[in-house]
Every structure is written in structure tokens, then in C-alpha cells.
Structure 1
Amino acid sequence: MTTDTAPYSRQFGADDARAIRDAVKKDLGTDAFKSRPLRALWFIPMTAIIVGSIASILAFDLPWWGNLLLSLLAGHTLACQALLAHEVLHGALGMSRRLQDALGWMGFGPAMVPPEFWRRWHNVAHHAHTNLGDKDPDSFGTMVRYEKYPKMANFTKPAPGSGTWYSFLFLFYSFMFHAQLVLWMQTRRREEFKGFNRTKAITQSMLCGAAWIALAIASGPLAVFTVLIPVMILNFIGQSYILTNHMLRPQMDNNHPVDNSMSVRAWRWIDPLHFHFSHHVEHHLFPKMGSDQAPKVRAWLQREMPDRYVCPSHVKAVAMLYQTPRVYKDAKTLIDPLNPERTVDVMELQGKLG
């Protein structure tokens, strides 16, 4: 399909998300959108790697560097499981809801995130309000919030872009920390959680936390390798994607994935291991598409709207995250609520991100 006759635009701001989706579906064909339940078999080797790594740390008197390598492997694989579970809970692999929940527990249980809570938080609240004002549960929000509650500005200090030394630790804990904030606070008041069994979800989350504590106690000093480092890596990998997906893009009233989100270019060898989670615009266009098909959507976007589709390298995106503030002054301007003179035009960032 050529852009000369296409019902979609190469220009930023066009309200043409439906037209883009229709065109991609037509060009890629129905096979690209079929569920592939056999991909769930990836949970078997990943679980074996996690259990085997932690068991080896405990069972063998390994040198510190051996324990470190195994802990990094376990943490990386925990993150991979969560990325695949994200796909499962969107329904991309098909299967019954009960089986989805079981795999969801395997992927998100280590992060203390019950599957049904994730569905409400991510699938419903985030996808419906992506980067939209103060409605997106995963956004630092707008100055309206901070003008109403000035003391909240202090919560931006740990975040990337604040300039504090401890902001460089943020990626290593913030997924699980933010999940608990949403679970304990936002589930009380958000419409998306109406009818949600909050008490059950909190209990489930605490039981997951208790499992980590039990492992730490059983591990003794080796808990650094069996618990601390794996959990830090799980958080780091997830947040290095999640925070760059939207926080460098403008806020859009029409929830247009091409304009309010961005993808990143991960290293070629690691992208399949992370189940193409780098393809985030693609995911927001087609949440139920298998991630193994996302590169086809990327190729389409790069061909049809190369100036509108933003996809920097993953490393550059994370670096830019640390060079910019996190709060929105307006739809296209980032601002530091603790230093209001510090602002960044996100549209100018697009050229730098490339």
C-alpha cells in the first residue's frame, strides 16, 4: 500500500490509528494475527534455568564470580518469563483463562503481581489511557497534579532525569515498587478496578513476597545471589523498556500508539530472548498479536511512515531518559516540578532520538 492513496498519514497528530491497523492487517494477512499457544512451551526451559541456577548456587560451593553469573542468568530469565507472561495475559497465545492465569503466575508471581491485577492495571487502565494526562497509572503525570499536591514533587527525586545520584538505582527496584503503589492505592479509587477483589490480590502479592523472604532466610549470606541480584535484574530489564516506551513521547487525547509511544532497537541477539518487547508501538497497535510477528509490523511502519514512527536504540533511549524531566507541563513539554525553569520539548527530542 502506498501513502499516495492510503487513508493514513505520515504526519504526526493525524487521528488515523484505525486506518493504520486496517492497512497493516490487510498487508500482513490473517496468519500474522493467529494465536500460537505452542509458544508457551518456552516457560519450560526458562523455569528450568531459574530453578537450576538458584539450586546450583545453594548446592555447590562456587566461587563468588560463579554465583554472580548464575544470579545474573536467573534474573535475566525471570525477566524473560515476565515478558512472555505479559503476552499471555493479553491473550496473544490463546488458551483458556485458567491456563493463562497459571502461566501468568509463573511470569509475574516473582514480581509479586497477581495475573488478574495485572490485567486490570495494564490491559485495562494503561492501554485505555496510554500516556494520557494524569489518567495513565504508569505516568508521572502533569503539573496539574503537582500544583494541587506540591509535596508530591519530592517523589520525582528518585526517578530518572531528576539528577540525584540515587535516581540511577531506580530501574533496579521500581517495577515491583510501582506495582505495590498501584495495588495498595490506585485500586481503591480507579474505575477500572471496580468489582476487583483487592483484598485477595494483596494477600496473593504478600504470599509471593513471603516466598522470596523464605528463600532469603534459607540462603543465608547467599541470598545476595539467590534473591537480591535476580530481583534487581528482573526490575532493571522490565523498567528499561517500560520507562522508555512512553515517557519521552507527547501526550495525546486520541491515544494514538504511533504518536504517544515509541519502540526501541534492542541488540539483534537479545531481542528474541526478550520476546520482542522492544516493539512497543507495534504492541499497542495490536495487543493480542504474538510478539514473534511484531517485526513484520515494525517493517511496515518503517516503510510507510519513517518520519512519524520513532525507534531509537535502547541504549540511547535510556540515556535520554536520564537527561530529561518526568512530569508534563503540557502535552508536548516535560518539566521538572522541583525546578520549573527546566523544560524539554518532546517534539524536539524526536529528532535527537532518530
Structure 2
Amino acid sequence: MNVVERETWITQAEYAKKLRSSLPPEAFLPDPSKTWILLINIAILILGWGVANHLDRWHWYLLWLYLPLSIVMGNSVIVLLFSTHDLLHSRTIKNPQLRQILSLLGLTLLWTPPTFWKAVHNREHHNKTNSLQDPDRNYLYEQPNNWGKWIQDTFVPSAEVHPLGLTIGMAHAWGVHTFRNLSSVLLFNHGRTEYPPAAFTVSTKERKAIAIEFLIILGIHVGILFYLGFHPVKLLLSYFLPIWIGYSGILFYVYTNHMLCRMTSINDPLINSVSIQVPPIFDTLHLNFSYHTEHHIFPGINSDYYPVVQGLLKTHYPDRFNLLDAGEAWRLMLRTPRHYKDENTFTDWNGEKSITCPLSSGSRESGARN
């Protein structure tokens, strides 16, 4: 099919209005199990640090036995983001103080104050998805060449990225993403900062809360380091390695959510978002985060019902819905540049390439979920 023209764009609200009546009422009820998932994964991390505190008593040739726990802890970092993400989109916990405490604990290893997350993700990203005002979009080629843009060019999957740069980026780019937006609102907060893709502002009350929450997060991290005695082996296996694994897993999803899509001035989730197909075990572990278009239509829905929403999208919008196998999505990321030349064209750092968005020609569905 031809590129979807602006006249045919459909807003998030219109999709939600059309599909909501086909969903069961329980899909919109609070789900306390997600809170338990958050608490269980906090407990896994605490247990991992408790075991790691005794690593200095292990013989060096037995240290590899800790690696499975490092992997499990890394997955817990992923689950903490996704479960807290669901918590802050829902009304599962009505007590604001308890909600804030749990979300702070859930986002601590992500260095992300929950008040900041609600601003950058819930308010800015969801309402302005892949538009010029979205802080999560690709940089424009015409934007100034600064450190933020250089980092994306050097470490984000693209046709130009070096494998070493991509490897380093997978483990660290989440921190860069948080730092550039967090520093923009804490240090400046005037909406004109040039190093994020799109700067935004927060209220004075939010800015104060973000600063306090960040200091608490910093204190927790310092506390973990002290608990582990700044021991290099303990830190590598139980602090840095789980964080690197967790960030890499998160970014695999984040990169494929929107960065392959066109920019849209109207928030049309079927045009500016992608859902990917992953093995069922990952949907179980990661709260169906692969159903990302579905999430953008119904941000507050119980994620257990995303597959139902996907079935409705396949029925009502088969030619608009971007559904990709995870491997295909990653290959497309590595075959295309990462800067926008215009809303439908990607280009490289030098502006020498002009690659039409690969998702402009309609549905890319490849196979069905089991």
C-alpha cells in the first residue's frame, strides 16, 4: 500500500473509542499481581547482593558459579522497569505515598526518579509520540551536532554503527538517555536545551520532587557499593553486570518501539509505534512489553490483555499495524540510518543517505504468535 497520508491518520483516542467496547471490563481493572512482581524482583536483587557479599570467601575458580545469578538479577532490572512502568500507568495503588515509594524502589537501578518518569514518559512521550516534541525520538539531521546527537550516532543500532560501539551502547545508553533529559530539566528547565532530541519543562513542584528523588536514588546506590565493600569482583558480578544485562534487554525493546517509524505530527500509534514478536517466555517474564502499539492505544490497561487488543488490531487495521518479528526489527535497525531527514526519510550523520522509512509501505507482519 502507499504511504499513509496525513488525511488518513487516526488518533489514539479514536482507536481507543472504537476498540474499547470489544474488550472485557476486567481488562481495565487494577491488577495487584504486578505489584507483587515488582516486590519479588526487588527481593531477588537484595538476595543477589547478600550472596555477593561473601564472594571474597570463594575460590577464584568458583566465581563463575555466580554468573547465573548475575543473569537473573539482570532480568530483574528489566522487570523492575516494566512493572513500575505499568504501576505508574495504572490505578493499582491508590495511596500516593505508597505508590511513590514503590515506584522509587522500582526505578532506582535505572537512575530514574518516578516524578521525572511520569513527566518524560507518561506526559511527554505518550502524548507526543514520535513527533518533533517527543524526547524519545531520533535526532533530526538538521539539529546541532552536539554530544547527545553524537552518542546516538555512535552507539545506537544503525547502518553505520560499529559493533563495538553498539555493544558498549547497549549496556550504557539507558543511562545516557536518562542523563540528558534529567539534566535538562534539573539544570535548565527552559525547554530550549539542544542536546536532547526534544527538550521539555516541568513545574517547580515537580523539579523539586525530581531533585529529592534523585538524591535518594544516589544514596541507595552508594549504600549498595558500601555494602559490597567496593570489592571489584563483588561489584562486577552483582552490580555492574546485572545493570549492563538489564539495560541491554530494556534497550532492545526501546529501540524497536519507535525508532524505525516515521515521525507524525498527529499521534497515530499504528503509524508511529511497532509491536514485536518474541518467544512466549519473554512475554511472560516482561509483562507483554513487546505489545507496544497496543500499550500506546490503552496505556492503563492490564498488560495481560494486550494480546486481545492485538487480535482486534489485526481484524480492524491489518494494513496499518506494524507487527514485526524481533529479529526482523533488529535487522531493519542495522540496515537504516538513525537521523530523520524529514518525517518519512532517514539519513546518516553527514546527510549523504536518503532511506525511506521501511515501515511506510504498510503492515510488516511476519508470522503469527503461538
TM-score by length of 1: 0.88
CA-to-aligned-CA distance 1:215-271 (integer Å, 9 cap, x gap) = 554443221101111010121111111111000001111111111011111211120
CA drift at 1:15: 3.1
CA drift at 1:108: 0.5
Residue of structure 2 equivalent to 1:7: none
SS of 2:340's equivalent in the other structure is strand
**Residue 160 in 1 paired to residue 157 in 2?**
yes
Residue of structure 2 equivalent to 1:229: 241
Residue of structure 2 equivalent to 1:82: 81
Residue of structure 2 equivalent to 1:5: none
Equivalent pairs counted in the alignment come to: 341
| Alpha carbons 2:322, 2:359 under 8 Å: kept | no
SS of 1:144's equivalent in the other structure is coil
**Counterparts in 2 of 1:300 and 1:228: CA distance versus 1, 3 Å:** same
| Alpha carbons 1:54, 1:70 under 8 Å: kept | no
| Alpha carbons 2:344, 2:360 under 8 Å: kept | no
SS of 1:264's equivalent in the other structure is strand
Matched letter for residue 300 of structure 1: L
**Counterparts in 2 of 1:151 and 1:91: CA distance versus 1, 3 Å:** closer
**Counterparts in 2 of 1:152 and 1:104: CA distance versus 1, 3 Å:** closer
- Could you tell me how far apart the structure 1 residues matched to 2:168 and 2:363 are? 25
CA drift at 1:85: 0.4
Structural mapping, 1:260-275, within 5 Å: 260-275=272-287
- Could you tell me how far apart the structure 2 residues matched to 1:235 and 1:329 are? 28
Q: 2:202 aligns with which of 185, 193, 212?
A: 193
Matched letter for residue 160 of structure 1: P
Residue of structure 2 equivalent to 1:281: 293
**Residue 203 in 1 paired to residue 215 in 2?**
yes
**Counterparts in 2 of 1:154 and 1:114: CA distance versus 1, 3 Å:** closer
CA drift at 1:47: 2.4
**Residue 34 in 1 paired to residue 29 in 2?**
yes
- Could you tell me how far apart the structure 1 residues matched to 2:117 and 2:241 are? 24
- Could you tell me how far apart the structure 1 residues matched to 2:347 and 2:91 are? 37
Q: Any unmatched runs of 5+ in structure 2?
A: 192-199, 366-370
Matched letter for residue 194 of structure 1: S
Q: 2:20 aligns with which of 1, 19, 25?
A: 25
**Residue 65 in 1 paired to residue 73 in 2?**
no
Matched letter for residue 66 of structure 1: L
Q: 2:352 aligns with which of 338, 341, 344?
A: 341
CA-to-aligned-CA distance 1:118-143 (integer Å, 9 cap, x gap) = 1111111111221112x211123212
Residue of structure 1 equivalent to 2:135: 137
| Alpha carbons 2:261, 2:359 under 8 Å: kept | no
Q: 2:45 aligns with which of 42, 50, 58?
A: 50
| Alpha carbons 2:323, 2:363 under 8 Å: kept | no
TM-score by length of 2: 0.84
**Counterparts in 2 of 1:318 and 1:352: CA distance versus 1, 3 Å:** farther
Identity across the alignment (%): 22
For the aligned residue pairs, the C-alpha RMSD in angstroms reads: 2.4
- Could you tell me how far apart the structure 1 residues matched to 2:148 and 2:70 are? 36
CA drift at 1:189: 2.4
Matched letter for residue 143 of structure 2: R
Instruction: Identify the range of structure 1 (318-327 vs 255-264) with the bigger mean alpha-carbon deviation.
Output: 318-327
- Could you tell me how far apart the structure 1 residues matched to 2:361 and 2:48 are? 41
| Alpha carbons 1:265, 1:311 under 8 Å: kept | yes
SS of 2:355's equivalent in the other structure is strand
Q: 1:298 aligns with which of 282, 305, 310?
A: 310
| Alpha carbons 2:141, 2:349 under 8 Å: kept | yes
Residue of structure 2 equivalent to 1:3: none
CA drift at 1:294: 1.2
**Counterparts in 2 of 1:336 and 1:11: CA distance versus 1, 3 Å:** closer
CA drift at 1:182: 0.9
